[in-house]
């Protein structure tokens, strides 16, 4: 696991402790009697470091507390990837981001299944439009929004037990990952959820 707030070499990071992501936060009262949520963006095997950097900027601006990216182990060892993410996320502290090896994703899925919402448009998987998402989140104190990678999305085997929403669009290919995150966060922000 790598935290980009600590951009030393991986060997220097090996003895550092990181935030415990399994903790269940308690809901807090926000302004005007609204609930405050712990909003986390979860990325499954992103392919482009630039997208991760752009997601960090959007997440910080629209109320997300954390971004976790389950990545190819090469990302954990490659300082060029860390540098590229930092360059693109200009002005945003990378303390929001935690990189984790993709092998840890299934354990995360088991632990957070009740608070995990997938954003995916996949044939054969029932999903609701993103504009309805706020109706399904009002009872949660923790919200984890799961996004798949740019090429293949989220594997169907992970979607079968999750609540799935999609972004309606007519373009035949998928939307860019950073754009999908931005649209979803804007919908939550517009609904006063984060």
- So where are the chain's domains? 32-190
Residue written as tokens 């754009």?
A: 179
Decide if domain 32-190 falls under CATH 3.40.1280.10: yes
What are 34-89's pLDDT values in tens digits? 446 789 999 999 999 999 999 999 999 888 999 999 999 999 999 999 999 999 99
Confidence at residue 26, expressed as pLDDT on a 0 to 100 scale: 38
Please report the pLDDT score of residue 161 as a whole number.
85
pLDDT (mean) for 129-133: 87
3-state secondary structure string, 5-53? CCCCCHHHHCCCCCCCCCCCCCCEECHHHCEECEEEEEEECCCCHHHHH
- For residue 43 the two structure tokens come to 């990325």
The strand pair at 28-29 and 35-36 is best described as: antiparallel
What b/e sequence results for 14-35 when a residue is b if at least 16 CB atoms lie within 10 Å of its CB, and e otherwise?
eeeeeeebeeeeeeeeeeeeee
Lowest mean pLDDT among 23-32, 59-68, 81-90, 145-154: 23-32
- pTM recorded for the entire structure: 0.80
Share the mean pLDDT of the chain: 79
How do residues 112-130 score in pLDDT, each as one tens digit?
988 889 998 887 788 888 8
Question: Residue 25 pLDDT > 70, yes or no?
Answer: no
pLDDT at 93: 67
């Amino acid at each position: 696991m790598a935290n980009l707030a600590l951009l030393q070499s991986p060997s220097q990071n090996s003895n550092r402790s990181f935030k415990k992501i399994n903790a269940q936060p308690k809901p807090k009262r926000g302004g005007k009697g609204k609930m405050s949520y712990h909003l986390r963006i979860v990325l499954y095997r992103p392919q482009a470091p630039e997208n991760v950097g752009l997601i960090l900027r959007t997440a910080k601006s629209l109320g997300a507390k954390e971004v976790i990216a389950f990545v190819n182990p090469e990302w954990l060892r490659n300082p060029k990837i860390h540098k590229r993410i930092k360059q693109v996320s200009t002005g945003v502290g990378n303390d929001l981001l935690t990189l984790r090896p993709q092998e840890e994703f299934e354990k995360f899925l088991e632990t957070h299944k009740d608070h995990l919402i997938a954003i995916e448009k996949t044939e054969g998987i029932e999903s609701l439009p993103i504009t309805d998402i706020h109706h399904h989140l009002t009872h949660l104190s923790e919200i984890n929004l799961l996004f798949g990678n740019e090429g293949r999305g989220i594997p169907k085997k992970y979607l079968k037990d999750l609540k799935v929403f999609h972004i309606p669009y007519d373009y035949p290919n998928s939307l860019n990952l950073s754009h999908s995150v931005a649209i979803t966060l804007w919908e939550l922000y517009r609904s006063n959820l984060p």
